[in-house]
Chains A and B, each alone.
Chain A
Amino acid sequence: MWFRPLALFTLVAGCAVLVGDIKTADAQTAQQKKAQKKALKKGMTPATPGADTTPGAPGTGTNPAGTTTPVAPPPVLGLFDAEVARYLKQIQDEKAATKTTPATPTKTTPSVKGSTKDAAELAKLIDAEIVRELAAEKLSASSRCSDDEFLRRTYLDITGTIPTADKAREFLDSKDSDKRAKLLDELLADPHYGRRMADIWTAKLFPIDSANRFVLKEPLHKWFEEEFNKNVPWNKLVTALVTAEGTVENNPATTYFLANRSVDKLTDTTAQHFMGIQLQCAQCHNHPFTTWKQTEYWGMATFYSKISVDRPKNANKGGDNTQIGVTEGNGRNKVKDFFPESTKTVPAKFLGGESPKVSEGTPYRPLLAKWLTSAENPYFSKAIVNRTWAHLFGRGFVNPIDDMLDENEASHPELLAALAQHLGTTGEFDLKYLIKAICLSETYQRTSRPTADNKDDKYKFSHMAMKAMSPEQLFDSLGQVTGFGKGGAERPGKAGVPKGTPNGPRAQFVNFFLAGAESASPVDYEAGIPQALRLMNSAIANNPAAVRTVIGSATKPEDAIERIYLATLSRRPTADEMKMLTDYVAKAGTPMTAYGDILWATLNSSEFTLVR
């Protein structure tokens, strides 16, 4: 399809910028945008067989109108040409292979001969693009982060918790030159990866709403945890959600519908979370900022019009909400409040795309899922790439991350397009692969210490953003150090609390720190006075048993202090810190009291609660 040669071209144009030919790049970007808009109007659906086979030789690009624009071959200048050229060749190989085996409409991830998933190569592509932009902006890049920064950052980003003191010591002392890549593999294989991803996605798909007070959240969280740990490809995972049928007990993915029990909520959440588009305004009026018309909205909504979603029962009156779920109906749902007042009954139509042939007797949702999750959907792959980038960098290429309007242009449109394209084809929507590639990049591995000239940069990724721990990360990390909350195990509720309701210490802590918000900002420190009081004065940071556990068998103050630092901040104290703290211990009457004070201070420090 045309999208691929364009992504390819933009990379070529990217090299041109590196040697100073800005005009080519701009013209190319404009052309790409125009083409994208056109394609959107035409409707990018899987039902356009052969799209992948549009001819396009290296050095030429074909836009959908069929005109060919010559583009200069990549100049053999610049630092990253070799890497980019390799990637270009890979794409060309893919294309050559695609020519001989045209993609069929049902295949969303064509298996292409000669293509491989190479995270290290993808990381280089990321770096080439980011560095090109930094050069254009005359921003310096911060240096490579230290091992302790990398260790704590990847642990929190991938598994949602800090490393243990033993793990920190082992990693910091390791002389293995490949230890960072090995750590990434280890963390991505850790079951806590699934929990971290489940925390993120459960919060998005299970809104805080009084209508959801009897809907069980835990089964969905557990399902996500398992699916992410199995690394089910993103397109398959979303398909399973969008087409879920059955009861909570036999298919927890149905919770997605139980927690969004009306056609408009389902339409909004599908567009927002899986396509990065905020459609909700178009429900009642034509979207003020963009081209979505009300009929587009209700065309999408029609795909959900035939399902029937059970109403959760009052669990306090004995309702068993594991036995409710979703069934596919034969006709339009008759339940009154499943449709809002503003409902317009229009034929099913893909957003910005065509109206598929539907028949009353067959379910609509599989059609929606197929279109939604196809590599050809211009939004689906971009949305997950943008989210994954934001997960790791604190902000996406496009921000707000779920507002990918044409008007809201990406900071690195070529890189976003190339990553999205790659993930949707060769990358097989493999999220662990995408995360590994990004984490292997020098861009991700920069220190969060700014340089004199890049301090104010928030857009070009010149240094790593300082992120704030989410309430879940904070709870799990505090638990690891102090034993508080027993690492997040959810206790069964008191009598009368329905089965599956998370009411243990982790859920309570998260609720207290979220304070009614759906999710915490990734980069802002948002805790207020009540949260600070709890961290300072409750048993969390004032537990003598925790001090003893952290100190272990250490007898010398230097060793004890080092253990506290490794356990909480995942690093050894600097010489200055060591001096200051050994003096502190010497002055204190009893060393254990002093260690308790030091542990209290590290747990309450911004360095603990921030992800550097």
Chain B
Amino acid sequence: MFSSRLTEKTRRDFLKLSAAGVFAPTLSGWLPVMAKAAAESGRKPVKSCIVLWMDGGASHKDTFDLKPDSKGAGEFKPIKTSAPSVEISEHLPKIAEIMKHGVIVRGMSTPEGAHARAKYNGHTGYREGQGGLVYPALGAIVSKELGAADGAMPNYVTIGGRSFGSGFLGPKHQPLLVTDPNRGVEDLKAAANGTQFDNRLGLLEKMEKAFQREYQADAIVDHKTTYERAVKLMQSKEAKAFDLAAEPASARAKYGTGRFADSVVMARRLVEVGVPFVEASLGGWDTHQDNFKRVKSLSEQIDPAIAALVSDLKDKGLLETTLVVWMGDFGRTPNINNRGANPGRDHYPRAWSLAMWGGGVKGGTVVGKTDKEGATVEERPTNAQDYLATVCELMAIDHTKKNETATARPITIVEKPKPFTSLIV
């Protein structure tokens, strides 16, 4: 008669215990090990992560993995960087100066060649449709595992376009979406003036108290928490982080101009007030045609923005605890296609690059290596799970933990990863 409760309860207890590393020997002591490793390296856990998503998939051979002697070498020349023996595209000169704070992962190799599915994989570590579930994106995982439950600021913000959400973790971990960084957060301002809004909140509070007294349901408390956080955000000085008008023009200028530059400025402002995860995206990388002109122009947008971001974070003492990631859907074909007068490169998930700065990484490191065409990964191949688990480890999130779906299915944060943390810290 009690067994259903026991079964459910036992399952929950098991999850809790395994999350705490009590049961499974493979999990036990995971966190202490990480903490020890961090202590030995003198590294602090990363508190915030900024992902800069190159929507459409950036050509690796024209950005961070140039192959000047290959068949499809393209037009761009490699240049030296501040990291010894690390070369990148000539159109990223400012990023070249900050490579001593960065890591390039040149062995990315992923299973999805269609945009939507590739983005899903890169954000969640799962393949779309797998197991009939919708999986949370990294930002939602960070929100769940590290985010303040009752702070004024949201724990996951995306700027400049739709992103991936919280999946089965539920709307609490959904990103706060800023469509246009110059307009800030939607619905942030009360419709009524200050006094009237306070009056309204006073009424609401009285209603809530009476209702909770009588019905005593958890949902009433959760509603209260969410509303309190939303009101705190409306009234907090931290919400100023969403107001780019408050950023001095001289400080903004070095990020460049345009929506991406503005998004990156906002990302930095959000990290400064403690937001643990921000994603900003830049579209236009799907360069099936006119690859070189377009990649050059896109490079000129990311180059000042990322360089300014990294140097500002460094100046503010935040670089060690902030990880900046540059990545996209996939790479692009090593060969140049023959689509018309201004050809381009097509989708290529088999070998591509991502880059990271800050977060206590060992500057100038390169993980993985492609062959001379940039077509196959020859050393240390890495996939989306490996990357996600590495970010989790840097942030001291136990990626072996299982979270429960609405129907109580236990799902590992990252499934079967081979993190490359030890290679970059």
Where the two chains meet, the residues of A that have a C-beta atom closer than 8 Å to any C-beta of B are 133, 136, 207-211, 213, 265, 268-269, 272, 278, 280-281, 397-403, 407-411, 448-450, 455, 459, 466, 468, 513-521, 523-534, 536-539, 542, 576-577, 580-581, 584, 588, 593, 597-598, 600-602, 604-607, 609-610, 612
Contacts and interface: CB of A to CB of B under 8 A. Distances in A.
Interface in B277-313: none
B223 A609 contact: yes
Among A397, A516, A612, find the residue whose CB has the most chain B CB atoms closer than 10 A: A516
Interface in B234-289: 234
A513 B171 CA distance: 7
Contact of B217 (A448, A536, A580): A448
Interface string B210-246: 1110111111101110110111011000000000000
A210 B230 contact: no
Contacts of A597: 192, 196, 199-200, 203
A534 B187 contact: yes
A537 B191 contact: yes
Given A272-B132, A448-B217, A598-B203, A532 B7 contact: no
9 contacts: A209-B128, A399-B8, A448-B215, A466-B219, A527-B223, A529-B226, A532-B226, A536-B231, A601-B203
A302 B94 CA distance: 58
B176 interface: yes
A537 B128 CA distance: 35
Contacts of B167: 516-517
A411 B4 contact: yes
Contacts of A584: 199, 203
A315 to B, nearest CB: 15
A525 B219 contact: yes
A601 B204 CA distance: 5
B5 interface: yes
B237 to A, nearest CB: 17
Given A136-B1, A459-B4, A530 B170 contact: no
B210 A577 contact: yes
Contact of B117 (A210, A399, A607): A210
Among A534, A598, A604, find the residue whose CB has the most chain B CB atoms closer than 10 A: A604
A516 B164 CA distance: 8
Given A268-B132, A398-B4, A526 B207 contact: no
A593 B5 CA distance: 50
Given A466-B219, A516-B165, A526 B170 contact: yes
B99 to A, nearest CB: 35
B135 to A, nearest CB: 10
What secondary structure prevails in chain B residues at the interface with A? helix
Interface string B120-133: 10000000110111
Contacts of B154: 528-530
Given A517-B166, A530-B186, A536-B230, A455 B171 contact: no
Nearest to B409: A400
Contact of B223 (A459, A513, A525): A525
B190 A536 contact: yes
Contact of A402 (B216, B219, B407): B407
Interface string B36-79: 00000000000000000000000000000000000000000000
A588 B133 CA distance: 51
Nearest to B172: A528
B207 A610 contact: no
Among B8, B171, B172, B208, find the residue whose CB has the most chain A CB atoms closer than 10 A: B171
A56 B239 CA distance: 73
B23 to A, nearest CB: 15
Nearest to A394: B219
B185 interface: yes
B200 A601 contact: yes
A399 B6 CA distance: 12
Among A281, A411, A515, A612, find the residue whose CB has the most chain B CB atoms closer than 10 A: A515
A401 B408 CA distance: 10
Contacts, number: 207
A177 B259 CA distance: 65
When A and B form their complex, which 4 residue pairs have the shortest distance between CB atoms, in order from nearest?
Answer: A516-B165, A210-B116, A400-B407, A515-B174
Contact of A210 (B114, B174, B177, B188): B114
A529 B230 contact: yes
A125 B7 CA distance: 26
B5 A411 contact: yes
Contacts of A468: 219
Kindly state the interface size class of chain B when it binds its partner. Answer: 35 or more
B33 interface: no
A542 B186 contact: no
A538 B4 CA distance: 44
Contact of B176 (A408, A529, A538): A529
Among A529, A530, A581, A601, find the residue whose CB has the most chain B CB atoms closer than 10 A: A529
B115 to A, nearest CB: 8
Interface in B132-168: 132-134, 154, 164-168
A524 B407 contact: no
Contacts of A517: 134, 165-168, 170-171, 406
Contact of A399 (B166, B204, B408): B408
B233 A529 contact: yes
A280 B207 contact: no
Contact of B4 (A410, A521, A534, A542): A410
A438 B239 CA distance: 49
Contacts of B8: 399, 408
Contacts of A397: 4
A211 B129 contact: yes
Contacts of B199: 584, 588, 597
Among A269, A400, A523, find the residue whose CB has the most chain B CB atoms closer than 10 A: A400
Contacts of B128: 209-211
Contact of B132 (A269, A410, A577): A269
B189 interface: yes
B216 A455 contact: yes
A521 B196 contact: no
Interface string B77-119: 0000000000000000000000000000000000000101100
Given A210-B120, A532-B227, A526 B171 contact: yes
B1 A530 contact: no
B3 interface: yes
Among A280, A450, A528, A576, find the residue whose CB has the most chain B CB atoms closer than 10 A: A528
Contacts of A450: 215-216
B190 A408 contact: no
Contacts of A516: 134, 164-167, 174
Contacts of B168: 517-518
B141 to A, nearest CB: 13
Contacts of B316: none
Nearest to A530: B176
A209 B176 CA distance: 22
B173 interface: yes
